[in-house]
Amino acid sequence: MEDLHLIVGLGNPGGEYARTRHNAGFQLTERLAGQWSAGWRNERAFKAWLAEAAVGRRRCLLARPQTYMNASGEAVAALVKNYQVAVARVLVVVDDADLPLGELRMRTRGGSGGHHGLESVEQHLGRRDYPRLRLGIGRQQQAADREITGHVLGRFRADEWATFEKVLERGGELVCCWLQAGATVAMNRFNGVVDTPQPKDH
C-alpha cells in the first residue's frame, strides 16, 4: 500500500501507565485519532490498537503497540510488513527525557539515544532511517542520569500538563504538516520549544 502512512505512538498498556510521561507517544496518537474521528480497534495479530483515517489525500494508520515499551519493535515491524509501508512513511512518536519539557524534535533517522522503545524498533526493522518524533518530558534535576525510571513512569504535575498539552497540540500540527508537505518542511516549521502557558497574576 504505497500511499499509506503509519504513525506509531509508543507507550505501555494498562491503566497504571495511562497519562504517564513515558506514554507521551500514546497520548499524541490518541489526540490525533480524536481529531480525525478515527475509532480504535484491538488487532491482536499485530499486538496493537489501530485506527484508520483519511487526512486530506493521505491514508493514515495510527497504532499503539500493546507489547510494552521494550518490545515495541515487534508490533512496528509486523505492521510495516503486513501493510507494506515504506519506511520513510513510518513515524514513531516517543517521550524523551533528554529534551526539556516543552520541546519537540523530529528527525528522519538516527540512533535510539538510549530509549528502549526506539532500540526495539531499530532491532526489528534492522535499520535506523525511519522518522521519529521525540516529545520532551524533561528530567528530574536531582536524579542521576540513569535513575529516571520513577520520573518517566510518573504522571505530569498540573503545571507540567499545561505545558505538555501545548506539546501535543504542536506535535499534532507537525504530523499533519509531515503528511501534507514532507519531513523537511515539518522539521523546519515545528521543531523547537512551544509557547508555554504563563501563570496568572493574582
> Is there a catalytic annotation at residue 116?
no
3-state secondary structure of 19: coil
Going 82 to 32 to 192 to 3, the CA torsion angle's sign is positive
From the candidates 22, 116, 151, 202, which is the catalytic residue? 22
Count the helix, strand and coil residues of the chain and give each as a percent rounded to the nearest 5.
40, 25, 35
Length of the chain: 202
- Which residues touch 104 (CB under 8 Å, ≥6 apart)? 133, 134, 135, 136, 167, 170, 171, 174, 190, 191, 192, 194
Helices 183-190 and 158-181: angle between axes, nearest 10 degrees: 150
CA distance 26 to 64: 6
Strand partners, 155: 20
**Which residues are known to be catalytic?**
22
